[in-house]
Amino acid sequence: MATDRDFMTLHRDSLVIDSHNDTIVSHIRRGNLGLDGNPTKDRDRRSGTVAYLRGLLDAADRKEEAQIDFPKMRAGGIDAAFFAVDVTRAWKNHLTYALDALGYFEEEVERLPGEALIARSAEDILRAKGEGKLAAILVVENSDGLEGSLNVLRMLHRVGVRSIGLTHNPRSEAADGNAEERNGSGLTTFGVRLVEEMNRLGVLVDVSHINERGFWDVMGVTRRPVVASHSDCKAVCDHPRNLTDRQIEALAKNGGVMGVTFVPGFVDAEAPTLERLLDHIDHAVKLVGPDHVGIGSDFDGGGTALKDATAFPRITEGLLNRGYSEGDVRKILGENHLRVLREAIG
């Protein structure tokens, strides 16, 4: 049984990367909540496309604290996180919505000097940790944010986007999402070109949410490792968003990583506990080894099986209690994600 000192020392010493949250939009919809956990000033300037199209969260949700902000990341020992902007609900405004959210976040980083940096490379993540800063990887979730243009992809890369989710649950211009299995369609012609161009530019391909046919299409096209940023194991919990054993094996063969996620319905339909979450890690590790498993919380987007970012050390404690070596725990906490980022984005 790991003692408090044992697991906290290991956790603090490890590189910890969380491969998915929905925090940017959540903070905007909480009335422009800052990444320091406090309401921000100049609300008019900051009330852009996301605030206009989506509005505030309802009163009950606003009473619940956001699951991630910079102080919570520090308290939970999270060194880097993928900050995703899900553009699915931004009908006919996908690109503007994405840029508005990304601009909001960039201003937060500038407003809080010394707190964080936007990572454009794997080395930036290591530099941030060495400087005592947090690292943020910018993500567009759902490639409809590109408005069907590879030129937009190029420009989003220039502003710092380093990963794109090809779909959300519905169909996108690139592929069918997991809610469209009945059509039997995978990558579109645009989707094939998109994966190729993401490989060329150095933008990490995210296959969470894509349907199974699309997943196999991606595996046949990509020449770089990919990530399933927030998905669990279908063999442990039979949910459409989870990965089959064959998919997990293919992801490992590709050199990629799956980020085990905290969404209760993906963890277990009846008892989405920490122990069941660890069962997903166990299953994937037994299947493909410890080099292809990471953590992708989905905080502020449904990842409520753990309370918030401050609970991250419980994963380290749980893995040690299950007999994982310190080296394997370090891989799962962040080294695997770092390797994939290094190979996919540089």
4-344: CATH homologous superfamily? Answer: Metal-dependent hydrolases (3.20.20.140)
Spans of the chain, pLDDT less than 70? 1, 3-5, 42-46
By three-state DSSP, how is residue 324 classified?
coil
For 169, other C-beta atoms within 10 Å of its C-beta total: 17
Nearest to 40 by CA among 2, 66, 14, 76: 66
**Integer Cα distance of 258 and 208 in angstroms:** 9
- Please tell me the pTM assigned to this model: 0.96
Q: pLDDT tens for residues 85-106?
A: 999 999 999 999 999 999 999 9
Q: Which residues of 24-60 are buried (b: 16+ CB within 10 A; e: fewer)?
A: bbbbbbbebbbbeeeebeeeeebebbbbeeeeebeee
Query: Are the C-beta atoms of 257 and 205 separated by less than 8 Å?
Result: no
| Confidence (pLDDT) at 276 | 98
Domain boundaries, the chain: 4-344
- CA 90/CA 92 separation, integer angstroms: 6
H-type helices in the chain, by residue range? 4-13, 23-28, 43-46, 49-54, 59-63, 70-75, 94-111, 122-130, 150-158, 189-201, 212-221, 245-254, 264-267, 274-288, 313-321, 326-330, 336-344
